Structure formats: structure tokens, C-alpha cells
Structure 1
Amino acid sequence: MHQVTALPAFKYNYIWCIHSAGKAIVVDPGDADVVQHYLQANNLQLVAILITHHHWDHVDGLPQLQQQWQNATLYLPAAEQHKIKHAAQNYQYLSADDLITIPDLAINFRIISTPGHTLGHICYVAEDAEKNWLFCGDTLFSAGCGRLFEGSAAQMHQSLTLLNQLPADTLVFCTHEYTISNLKFALEVEPDNQAVVEHLDFCQNLRQQGQITLPTTLKIERLINPFLRCEQPQLQQQWQQTNAQNLFTFLRDWKNRF
């Protein structure tokens, strides 16, 4: 049975560690020390590193981890190879629809290309009888989505539409603890959305108890995340937008200033 553990890093980041039978995979390790401490404390051997995009808080742990774990395979977005400055060893570049297998944990990932936050951003999807997992970097957040640093609103809307086609029970492992601020924005967008009101209360209680708000599920996100609800005619009408993409563009611009 696989376990997935959130390793808090920096102020709002989570490095996800998937582990089973003494072997581990980490996703977007911006801080090597956080990873090393957890691996050592739990007697785990690092066998793979998954990278979603090139931003420093997702990749800066690579040199130290690759030096320590030279047999661990590094998986990187092919479209961002020129942007990840750290020299890589034992690596594989990935593009849309690639499939990878990590034998040590008997786990497979399918790659979804999700430009928007960055142009070469990818997500990792694990699907089998036991689970549906999405490691989505900075594309999808609980009740929100990533800023458009490189891509367009049209690209991000299309990327989120792709992710939203995954099964409702998909566990969504985002890399930032932005849920409460995102829910406050969602409440501005849909003041009468009772699901947002209830989830905000639930998440505030979690945070007060020192717990994290992740992972979420697509089932929950379809109820509370305005960026996944742009197809709703009522929402388009409310904000005087003629289609889903226009509403998404309007909301993303508003969120930038919120």
C-alpha cells in the first residue's frame, strides 16, 4: 500500500513523498534538506524525482538530492529542459501522453501537458484499481489555479479543462497551501455557493488545528473552484461573460488583484 506524505517547505510549499516498502518518490523538491530529513527519519531510499516545472521552489533541491541518491531517476518536462539550470544525471525528459513506470514502487504515471503557469508545465497522473492521483504542480490549486507567468489564459483554461476530465474521485496533490485565500476569492465570485461557505469553514478549522487542507478531490473542486466552474451559464451571466474562456480570463485577472 502506497502512502503519500506532505513535506512542508518554505512558507507555503508542499513536497509530496510517495513511499512504500522502504522506497520513495518525491515531487518538486525545492528544498533538499526537508526531503533528506524525512527519508532518513523513515529509513527510506529515494528511487525517483518528479518535476512539474522549472521554478526555483520546485527544483532547487535537485543538485543535493542527485548527489546523495545517484541511482534515483529524475523525470523532467521536456519543454523546459533549457530552463532547469541544474546539471541532471540519470534523467528522462517527458512530454504529453508519455507513460512512465517506477518498478520499485510498482506505480505508473501518465503525463498531461498543462501550459499556463509556465509554458512547459506537466502533471503526473497515477491511475489503477487502487487509486486515482494527480500531482499537478502549480496548475491546479484547491479553489484556485496558478498564476499565468508564461502562458495565456486560453492555455491555462484548456489545461484545467483537461485535468477536469479525470475521474471525480481523483485525489489532487497541489504544491501550495493557498486554499483559504482561494476560498475567500471563490466566495466573492459566488457569494451564494453554500459548498464554498462550508469548505472554507472546514479548512479554517483544519488550519487552526495545524493540519493541511490537501489533498483535495476533483469532486470537491467542481463544487468550489471558480476556475473549474467557468462552463456554468449562470456564472457567465452573473459576470457578463459570453463563454467559459472569457469568464476564466476575467476571473484570473481579478484574482491577480484580489
Structure 2
Amino acid sequence: MKSASEASYQYVPVPAFEDNYIWVMTDGHSAVVVDPGDAAPVESWLREHGVKLIAILLTHHHADHVGGVATLLRTFSGPEGIPVYGPAAESIPVVSRALKGGDTIELDEPYGEFAVLDVPGHTRGHIAYVQHAGGDGAPHLFCGDTLFASGCGRLFEGTAAQMLASLDSLVALDDDTQVHCAHEYTLSNIRFALACEPANPDLQAWSIRARELRDLGRPTLPTTIGHEKRVNPFLRADQSSVREHVLASASARGANGSSGMSEAGSIDRLGVFAAMREWKNTFR
């Protein structure tokens, strides 16, 4: 088996729907696709580049992440079939290789070794994939709708405590880990982040740069774990500069942050995080 450094990898965000990215990992001959909610843009990309689809990775069951799988299997599966990896804790009929946290995947072509992390919160069984040594030598994270650039996923099925724990597991990855989020939510997330921490100079600079990228029609992704630590308020719930504005907003909205109240009556890190996530749900 060749090493990742010997593989000429590309990580390509293929746009789908209004703001989804379907990530394609390719060595120029074969490809792995992550969360193909729509088959058409993937089909077009594979045919345009003459690349063979050899595996599909799914992070969770939502239709905009799995809806294109059946069509891709019908179109591209040869006699050997195409493996579809996905979370064991969710019901996804197209999954042929069910995974849980602690599992690993090894692919020969294109080369890839992926560790699986359990990251519940957005959905109960959400998983993420970490390629610890990608084709460019850096680690790569495919996190679905758990972590976004300057934001995090909405809590559809899980709890704030689950989501915070999941984000903590991602923040523990190396700072240079490339973060391949599944949506282009960055500008709206930055607007909210600035409401949470308006004096953050890294966030202010990122706001300008992200707008420049979008004005040029370029994605704001991938981001990195190190960058998110500096600009993402959901990873900074323990910072007084974030806490102050989140609790002021919660007070103005009549929210009490009771899910994070300690015996002393003060709101702890989880309470700040929960109040922030609730605020984001209605932020405009």
C-alpha cells in the first residue's frame, strides 16, 4: 500500500442545492465522495474529470447528505459494487458498511486511512471522518453538519451537552487539520459570531477575507481547527468576551440558560453554549 504522501490528492468541494458542498477526494484516477445529497453534480464532476467512484462516506441521515446515493450506485457500480460507509446508529438503507466511533477505514485507491468519531448533537448518530495524513501531509476532517466555519450545527435530535462534547473532540485534533464542512454558511455564521464577540480582531479580519472570497465566487472552505479556535464562538464559550454578550442577549430575550446552571446559581460553560445555540436559532 502506498503512503498518503505519495498520492496526488485533491479535496474538491462540489456545490449542490443552495449551499451544500459534496466533498470529493481524488488522486486523479479514483474518487471518494462525502455526503452526496444530490447525484447530478457528482455525476457531472466525475464524468468531466474521467474519475472512477470507488467509495461513498456518509456522516448522517439527512436527505441533503444521502439523497443522491442510490442514483450514484445505479450509475457507477460495477460488478464489485461501491461500498457506502455510514453511521451504525442511524437508519440509512443505502449504507453497506456501518460504522461507529473508534472504527477505521482503509482504502487502497485513492489511498486513504480514516478514523471514525462519534459526534452526536445535530443528529443522534452523527459521525465524522478524520484522515490523519492526507495527500498534502495535513490531517483532514469531514464533519458533516457538526462543525461549520465560524459556527456549529443546529440541534435537531441531540442535546447541547452532546454537541459541546462533540465539538470538544474535534477541537482536540491538530490545529492544522483541514476542516471540510458540508455547507457554505460562513458569512451568516460570521455575522452571528461578531454579535457574540465583536472585539475579536481575528474574527474581524476573517469577516473581511470571507466576504472577499465569496465576492470572487470562491468557497470559504476548508477552514482549520486552529483558525476555528480563534474565531468560532461555539468553541469559545469559556471566553469572557463571548460570555458577556451571550448572557446579555439571553437576558434580553428572557432566556434563563437553566440547562447550564451550577449549584452556585451561575451559568457554566455548557449554559453559555446552550444559550448561544438558542440565540443562533433566531438570529437574523
Q: Which range, TM-score by smaller chain? A: over 0.9
Aligned to 2:250: none
1:52 to 56, 59, 70: 59
SS in 1 for 2:109: helix
Question: Judging changes above 3 Å, is the alpha-carbon distance between structure 1 residues 101 and 61 closer, same or farther for their aligned structure 2 residues?
Answer: same
Note the C-alpha offset of 1:242. 2.9
Residues 216-236 of structure 1 show CA distances to partners (whole Å, capped at 9, x for unaligned) of 011110111000111224533
1:22 to 25, 29, 33: 29
Aligned to 1:78: 88
CA contact 2:121–2:162 (8 Å) conserved in 1: yes
Aligned to 1:33: 40
Note the C-alpha offset of 1:103. 1.0
Task: Give the aligned residue type for 1:124.
Answer: Y
Question: Displaced runs of 4+ in structure 1, greater than 6 A?
Answer: none
**Structure 2 Cα separation of the partners of residues 150 and 100 of structure 1:** 26
> Which runs of structure 2 are paired with 1:27-176 in the superposition (5 Å)?
27-70=34-77, 71-80=81-90, 82=91, 84=92, 86-88=93-95, 91-128=96-133, 130-176=137-183
**Structure 2 Cα separation of the partners of residues 215 and 152 of structure 1:** 26
Q: Which protein has the larger Cα radius of gyration, Structure 1 or Structure 2?
A: 2
Task: Give the aligned residue type for 2:220.
Answer: T
- Structure 1 window deviating more from structure 2 (178-187 vs 98-107): it is 98-107
1:209 to 179, 191, 216: 216
Structure 1 gap ranges (5+): none
**Structure 2 Cα separation of the partners of residues 243 and 18 of structure 1:** 40
- Structure 1 window deviating more from structure 2 (104-113 vs 67-76): it is 67-76
Note the C-alpha offset of 1:243. 1.9
- Structure 1 window deviating more from structure 2 (227-236 vs 213-222): it is 227-236
Aligned to 2:4: none
Query: Structure 1 residue 10 and structure 2 residue 30: aligned?
Result: no
SS in 2 for 1:166: coil
Question: Judging changes above 3 Å, is the alpha-carbon distance between structure 1 residues 169 and 87 closer, same or farther for their aligned structure 2 residues?
Answer: closer
CA contact 1:236–1:242 (8 Å) conserved in 2: no
**Structure 2 Cα separation of the partners of residues 183 and 122 of structure 1:** 25
CA contact 1:9–1:34 (8 Å) conserved in 2: yes
Aligned to 1:255: 280
Aligned to 2:267: 242
2:197 to 181, 190, 199: 190
Task: Give the aligned residue type for 1:105.
Answer: P
**Structure 2 Cα separation of the partners of residues 68 and 257 of structure 1:** 41
Q: What is the percentage of aligned positions where both structures have the same residue?
A: 44
SS in 2 for 1:137: coil
**Structure 2 Cα separation of the partners of residues 196 and 109 of structure 1:** 31
Note the C-alpha offset of 1:21. 3.8
**Structure 2 Cα separation of the partners of residues 238 and 211 of structure 1:** 31
CA contact 2:187–2:210 (8 Å) conserved in 1: yes
Note the C-alpha offset of 1:131. 1.9
| CA RMSD between the two structures | 1.3
SS in 2 for 1:65: helix
SS in 2 for 1:110: strand
TM-score scaled by length of structure 1: 0.95
